[in-house]
Amino acid sequence: MRAPGRHVRAGTVDYLNARPLVHGIECGMGRGAIELSYDVPSVLADRMLRGELDLALLPVVELARMPDLEIATGLAIATSGAARSVLLVSRRPPASIASIALDPESRTSNVLARVILERVWGARPEIVEAGADIAQALAAADAAVRIGDKALFEPLPAGVRAHDLGEEWTRATGLPFVFAAWAARPGVIDADLYRLLGDSRRDGVRSIDAIAREYSWRGRRDPTVAREYLSRNIRYDLGPSEIRGMELFFRVARDTGCLGIEPTIRLVPGVSQTATPTASTRIGVPPARDRSGA
């Protein structure tokens, strides 16, 4: 249990898709008990690793670096189908991609892109270094991973095609994909904190219209896109099917060499672990090398 009166240092991703999970906290829930800060996913994970945070809306692939963390069920950033904000952008058909620029803000999405490329499209591209600018990334590589608000709101260069990685995952596996979940070291998430996180999520889901109206990215507002994205593309659940999707993702990422270990999903005590999924999906078998990739 947390010591009475102790502030929980919490971090969340600085993207639109996290706003429904933290909306209640931003509006004053848990005032005096939780201190919330914002970062892109990769920086958030590094802060958690350094011990600067007690709790974080953490990219799930980071469980491989921090295997002692526990995650809270029922609370996540996930999709079951098109994500819209996690893209592989390319000028070439997927099967012929020979090089890829990863997104410096992401780790989970970068691993997902490599898994989809190998297991679905039969490509094993070279990884190249590039910045966040999409034009520079596509000048350096055949394809680029694009995540977050820039993927959702920023127009793509002419002549490129965007492949939705959430959609490709669910099409291949029949399972949702979890991008981030509330994670903490053992003992941090007690009953009071878990209730606060759940109340904040419920408040946020009820407030999606207001969140969409008020949200801006680099001075731009598009409430229609934001509302549709939050209500149709992003899910905030972490139940049995989402956990099965995480387990399969970790296994395939390890098998393809994207992760050194297959993380164990440790749930906050009191929640039962779910059964491991079978490997009968397309993503769990060797890729068909004769796919056209068109």
Matching CATH topology for 8-78+178-277 and 86-174?
yes
Asked if residues 58 and 266 have their Cβ atoms less than 8 Å apart, the reply is no
Asked if residues 78 and 105 have their Cβ atoms less than 8 Å apart, the reply is no
- Indicate whether this model's pTM tops 0.85: yes
pLDDT on residue 73: 92
pLDDT on residue 126: 96
Asked if residues 157 and 138 have their Cβ atoms less than 8 Å apart, the reply is yes
Domain spans of the chain? 8-78+178-277, 86-174
- C-alpha span between 290 and 185 (Å, rounded): 45
User: What is the rounded radius of gyration, in angstroms, for the C-alpha atoms of the chain?
Assistant: 19
Q: Tens of pLDDT along 11-32?
A: 999 899 999 999 999 999 988 8
Q: Tens of pLDDT along 78-105?
A: 999 999 999 999 999 999 999 999 998 8
Higher confidence at residue 90 or residue 283?
A: 90
182 Cβ contact partners less than 8 Å away, ≥ 6 residues apart: 21, 55, 56, 57, 58, 71, 72, 75, 76, 189, 197
Q: Tens of pLDDT along 103-119?
A: 988 899 999 999 999 99
Asked if residues 267 and 194 have their Cβ atoms less than 8 Å apart, the reply is no
Q: What angle do CA 246, 34, 176 make, to 5 degrees?
A: 15
Q: What CATH class does 86-174 carry?
A: alpha beta
According to the CATH classification, is domain 8-78+178-277 in 3.40.190.10?
Answer: yes
Q: In what order do the strands lie in the sheet with 8-13?
A: 34-39, 8-13, 55-59, 177-184, 70-79
Residue pointed to by tokens 């164990």: 264
Q: Where are the beta strands (DSSP E) in the chain?
A: 8-13, 34-39, 55-59, 70-79, 86-90, 99-101, 126-128, 143-147, 161-164, 177-184
Q: Tens of pLDDT along 30-46?
A: 888 899 999 988 899 99
Asked if residues 7 and 196 have their Cβ atoms less than 8 Å apart, the reply is no
Burial-class residue 46 by CB neighbours within 10 Å (0-12, 13-18, 19+).
Answer: middle
